A and B are shown apart, each in its own frame.
Chain A
Amino acid sequence: MARMNINFKNRVAVIGAGLTLFRRRMYETTRELAWEAAKQALDNAGLTLRDIDAVVLGTAPDAFDGIHMQGEHMTDAAGGYMKPYTRVFVGGGTGVFAAIAGWWHVASGLFDRVLVVAEEKMSTVRPHPQYVFHHIFDPIMDKPLGVNLIWIFALEMARYMYKYNIKKEDIALVSVKNKRNALDHPAAQVAAKITVEDVLNSEVLVWPVQRLDISPVSDGAAAIVLTNEEYAKQYTDTPVWIEGVGWSLDTTYWTNRDLAFPKYLYYAGKMAYKMAGIDNPRKEIDVAEVYDPFDYKELHHMEGLQLARKGEAPILTREGVTERDGDLPINPSGGLLGVGNPIAAAGLMKVAEIFWQLRKEAGKRQVAKDPVTGLAQAWGDLMQIGTVVIMRV
């Protein structure tokens, strides 16, 4: 396999992962959720907090919890007490990005063992988490129009459908697949056997977006443990290596963009592929967890990542290529549409899923092919950032 341009010195491995349940409402506080996930990941890796040199936290907007400087509120809970500890933030892309930040803590040579924790508690805000999203918009251009989050995604989805002549029926297949995959996921919140008709008959929120096109709001947390090569070999026989990372942030002015193609993700993918020495993503990626808060986004993101040509992702989906037993399994976990969407935690859940898939520890979710290279991706902000991690065994 071609591996050009691996110009960084320290290889970084994932050696453990952990999750809490993902649910609409959880009794545990943000701190308690983060602690539960961190504990799971450390146990899974066979480490204790004492073995950890630095901690990275990912959590999306403070407004969900109504806690300013949320990262600082979480220090002890995430395991950061008396350690180098930071929170990184790129909106919905944060979950995968936290893993990227963990990567550079180790790849820089500064730390040997790093804990990455991502949590989200969306149920705190009343009356509905959607309300928080009102405050993400430009206060001059967009907010006075009464904009809501689903408007802008619907506008993107509609443009994508228009440009490539894509039918709602084909997009709905993604929701059907992911909710079905999630039936095998122990954290899943909205796993279900549904049909394309169920999606098309669900409540229309902002046409073309209907209720079953969207992932739910959730509480939950996820964590992973990263180490350098030396420690990875000491702790486990099956480390999973992070071989490429990439991210890219597009212009703030979303109404000035080509909404039919996620250029930010194309660039993020290119960066990660280059680092991992991947020339032909469609052939070389065996399994991918792409960000799917909306069903069309799975398709959009496959195209941005060059896992499908422009407008081709719905065809691959219809042909079953993206099923667990297909040639390019996409979201075998069940994704956000099936497992749930505690924003930052959902992104890190995807990294955890690739970790389990490559270790062949995914149980009933295990993909049929023998995967060597996997990809996890998240997306966020004003439809603006792509974050990508490529892993190999």
Chain B
Amino acid sequence: MPSDVYIIGVGSTRFSPSTPELSFKELMFEAAVKAYNDAGIDARRDLDAIVSASEDYWEGISIFDEYIPDQLGGVLKPVFTVSGDGLWGVIHAYMLIKTGAFNIVAVEAHSKASDIVDINSIWRMAFDPYVIRPLIDNPHVLAGLEMNIFMENLDVDRDAISLVVSKNRANALNNPIAPYGSDVDPDMVSESRVVSYPLRELDISSYSDGAVVAVLAGETAARDLGIDAPKVKGVGWVSGSSYIEEWDYASPEFVWRAAQMAYSQAGIDDPYDSIDVAFIDDRYSFRELQSIYALGLNDGYSLNELMYNGVIYPDGDLPVNPFGGYLGCGYPLLAGGLLKLYNAMMYLRSAGPDTVESALVMARMEYPSPSAAVVILGW
């Protein structure tokens, strides 16, 4: 049998709306040092490979993977880039270890969103140049369309969605790396400026800068290090159509399929029963509820009831984004998935194996991407 894979260390910088004092390299270095210390490894001696997540236009440097090895301890090691969110990096590290040829692999992702002068002009570059760019100049237009049909088809209240924002901003108050913790009244959300109806200003996660590194290891390596670490129980990732006209905006099938892949590996038949806590997409407030639905985590509840009955609050049956999600930590572009993984690790460690059996981490690539990744962690 191929080795089980463990997450033996994580490290994160504090997330922040801007980080003018540090270069992206210095930000990455901080997260890497923390993660390697956490895992108790010597990067130069122990790391078999490093996966870094980046997209050239987010960095402003073409062929950005040129600029990753030194600050991660990766010079003259097998280092590569996955073009996408860091959670895809975790999945590739997982596969590398599963081949049997790699023992310890680090994964890095970061955001320097504040270095970008006009971020919507970069989003625009992601749209199809033939038929979409002439029509749309920012991603929130699509989010509005998505939100509208989602609310309509699944009968979701505006109030329930506003409560997601209140919950996550409040949850972030307990997260030392989150910059957007606050006490936001649901009415403030419902009455904030309309960006793309029904999407409003406070429904949108603000950007943040930061870097996260995770260290994965196979059985033998984890044992040798004497680390009692959570295991990766299952991974799944699936892409939908890159033609945004073809999406099912209400309930994204690619999220559902990615989840099914991960559940099947983890031997999970009843996700609501097996998953104790979830760290999932909330780039836009409504996405949290939409993701819960697509992940099959709502059990018998309607999406409104999840909020009104307190099911997904920190003391509820299924805490969702208990450390604040993107709404509370900021949306750090491609570091989003690793930020969620970091939060999940903090949660698993503080709760311990007796309380929490499985945690689900999920990330999406953003417009125009139709991709989702799911990683299930547990003891």
Contact = CB atoms under 8 A, between A and B. Distances in A.
Contacts of A275: 101
A68 B57 CA distance: 6
Interface in B58-88: 58, 60-63, 65-70, 74-84, 88
Interface string B108-126: 0000000000000011011
B183 to A, nearest CB: 35
Contacts of B62: 61-63, 132-133, 135-136
Contacts of B242: 72-77
Contacts of A69: 55, 57, 83-84, 126, 365, 368-369
Contacts of B68: 249, 252
A382 interface: yes
Contacts of A249: 65, 68-69, 74-80
Interface residues of A, number: 65
Contacts of B56: 61-63, 68
A118 to B, nearest CB: 13
A130 interface: no
Given A8-B99, A83-B238, A251 B78 contact: no
A32 interface: no
Interface string A232-272: 00000000000000111111110000000001100110010
A91 B61 CA distance: 12
Contacts of B84: 69, 71-72, 86-87
Contacts of B77: 248-249
Nearest to A89: B81
B319 interface: no
A86 B76 CA distance: 24
Contacts, number: 194
A50 interface: no
A249 B180 CA distance: 37
B34 interface: no
B100 A104 contact: no
B239 A82 contact: yes
Contacts of B81: 88-90
Interface stretch (B90-98, B145-153, B196-204): B90-98
Contact of A90 (B80, B96, B371): B80
Given A8-B100, A72-B371, A250-B75, A110 B95 contact: yes
A72 B237 contact: no
B276 to A, nearest CB: 25
A352 B254 CA distance: 32
Contacts of B98: 104, 107-110
B37 interface: no
Contacts of A75: 239-242, 370-371
A107 B99 contact: yes
Given A9-B100, A62-B56, A66-B125, A252 B368 contact: no
Contacts of A8: 99-101
B2 A68 contact: no
A260 B259 CA distance: 49
Interface of B: 2, 55-58, 60-63, 65-70, 74-84, 88, 91-92, 94-96, 98-101, 122-123, 125-126, 128-129, 236-243, 253-254, 257-258, 261, 365, 368-371
24 contacts: A62-B55, A68-B126, A75-B239, A77-B242, A81-B241, A82-B238, A82-B239, A82-B254, A83-B239, A84-B237, A84-B238, A85-B237, A88-B80, A107-B100, A136-B62, A249-B65, A249-B77, A249-B80, A250-B69, A250-B75, A251-B69, A264-B76, A381-B63, A381-B66
Interface of A: 7-10, 60-63, 66-77, 80-91, 97, 101, 104-105, 107-110, 132-133, 135-136, 138-139, 246-253, 263-264, 267-268, 271, 275, 380-382, 384-385
